[in-house]
A and B are shown apart, each in its own frame.
Chain A
Amino acid sequence: MSAEAHTSTEYIKHHLQNLTYGQLPAGYQRGDGEVLQESIWTLAHSAQEAKDMGFWAINVDTMGFSIGLGVLFLFLFHRAAKGAVAGVPSGLQNFVEWVVEFVDSSVKGSFTARNAMVAPLALTIFIWILLMNVMDLLPIDWLPGLAGMLGLPYMKVVASTDPNATFGMSLSVFALVIYYSIKMKGVGGFLGELTLQPFGKWGMPANLLLEGVNLIAKPVSLALRLFGNMYAGEMIFILIAIMFSGGAVLALTGGVLQWAWAVFHILIITLQAFIFMTLTIVYLDMAHQEHH
């Protein structure tokens, strides 16, 4: 956290920047004053560089952590699934069954149609988001510090504080909502739902506006809720971490605060994962219903 080298603002900004890999165009002047002779693919060394890479860049840390955690989740659950027997379950199987049953009962409670995809989708969302969120509980300088030693300029550990990750999920869910709306109700039924209610066919523009906002709000709120909560939590951890460089008393207070916030954050982590899952189920249920 080397406060002598960074100001607090720099420290915060540093923690909020993803490790971005992308293309910088020829003639681009980098942060250290170097002017590029030709366009290169490289890691961004500043927030400005990351921004200038435009859309065709990738957040290596977000992808790495999310894929790593997703693979961990699937590996553990797959191992339990392979050994799943009807007899007395082993420890891992017991835990996995408990989670699966919890998700299954949530799906059964909210989803009335029949679709074999919804429950596994809900399970994936819940566990994946939960694991990504849990990374927030690691002291925020551990992994970025390690990455710094390896020469990586940035490292954002919590994938769910990257809107790319949350929107990636929520837009996928949105695509499923639209797909199933059209599959269940037909194009006409889906458009009718958008335009013919709540005011009947003479209020079509108003209907379209209301229902359109309603529709678009689903993925946006889904993604922003998770992102906002995790981002804010992360921010508080960063602010607390700044206290560590402010002398013994502040550092001690910071330690206590970090512990307290982490305990409270466990609740938020789980809750956000659960909310994302439940709303996904509810949105898909609405997509499956003829009238709602």
Chain B
Amino acid sequence: MNINMTLIGQSITFAIFVWFCMKYVWPPIIGALEARKKQIADGLAAGDRGKHELELAAKRASETMLEAKLKAVEIIAQAEKRAIQVIEEAKNDAKAEGDRMIAAARAEIEQESHRARESLRGEVAALVVAGAGKVLRREVDAKAHADLLEVIKNEL
């Protein structure tokens, strides 16, 4: 239990150990610890961010749904309006077509009656000529009296 050179030897040993520990032991271990701490913190932050994003997405989704619903209602209203319009148009068209057909029919009838009158007029003229021939007992020259006959025909 004497104080001797061991004291100096121990001090030198101690200094060397501390130096070695400071140089080769402490920094890598602390570095690894810090890196792991950062990794964990990053992971937690990423988790939080993910959660936040999920919330945002849910919010966005519900907003989109609401918007879509509104749009659908709008579209339906528009469609209804358009349908009414189409029906209205169709009605108008049909009415116009009907009117047109009626007019055409009327024109046809007019034409037919005119034509009937014409042919009737011709026949009557022929009858008149024949009747007159019989009355006069002589052949009326149809060619010679064409002018006359024409006048009579027009007067009928």
A residues in contact (CB < 8 Å) with B: 16-18, 20, 22, 50-51, 53-59, 62-63, 66-67, 70, 73-74, 77-78, 80-82, 84-87, 89, 93, 96-97, 100-101, 104, 116-117, 119-121, 123-124, 128, 162-165, 167-169, 171-172
Binding site for A on B (CB under 8 A): 1-11, 13-15, 17-18, 20-22, 24-33, 35-36, 38-39
Asked if A81 meets B4 with Cβ closer than 8 Å, knowing A58-B9, A67-B13, A97-B33, the reply is: no
Query: Cα distance A66–B35 when bound, in Å?
Result: 33
Q: Please, could you name 29 A-B residue pairs with CB atoms under 8 Å apart, sorted by A? A: A17-B1, A18-B1, A20-B4, A22-B5, A50-B2, A54-B4, A55-B3, A56-B4, A58-B4, A58-B5, A59-B6, A66-B10, A70-B13, A84-B29, A84-B31, A86-B39, A97-B32, A104-B30, A121-B18, A121-B21, A121-B22, A124-B18, A128-B14, A164-B10, A167-B7, A168-B10, A168-B13, A172-B11, A172-B14
Give the residue name and chain of the B residue nearest to A54 (CB): B4
**Does the CB pair B1–A167 fall under 8 Å?**
no
Closest Cβ neighbor of A59 among chain B residues: B6
Known: A62-B10, A74-B25, A78-B24. A172 touches B15 (CB 8 A): yes
Contacts of A74 in B (CB 8 A): 17, 20-21, 24-25
Q: Which residues of A contact B29 (CB under 8 A)?
A: 77, 80-81, 84, 96-97, 100
In the complex the two chains form, is A164's CB within 8 Å of B6's CB? yes
B interface SS class: helix
Q: How far is the CB of A93 from chain B (nearest CB, A)?
A: 8
- Give the residues in chain A near B26, CB-CB below 8 Å: 81, 100, 119-120, 123
| Chain B contacts for A121, CB-based, 8 A | 18, 21-22
The 8 Å CB contact of A57, one of B5, B25, B33, B38, is B5
A56 touches B14 (CB 8 A): no
Complexed CA–CA distance, A53 and B3 (Å)? 11
Residue of A nearest to B4 (CB): A57
C-alpha gap A74/B17 in the complex (Å)? 8
| Least Cβ–Cβ distance between B123 and chain A, in angstroms | 122
When chains A and B are docked, how far (Å) is the Cα of A248 from the Cα of B81? 115
Q: B6 near A86 (CB under 8 angstroms)? A: no
Q: How many Å lie between the Cα of A265 and that of B110 in the bound state?
A: 139
Top 5 closest pairs, chain A to chain B, by CB: A168-B10, A86-B35, A84-B32, A164-B6, A120-B22
Contact A86 B21 (CB under 8 A): no
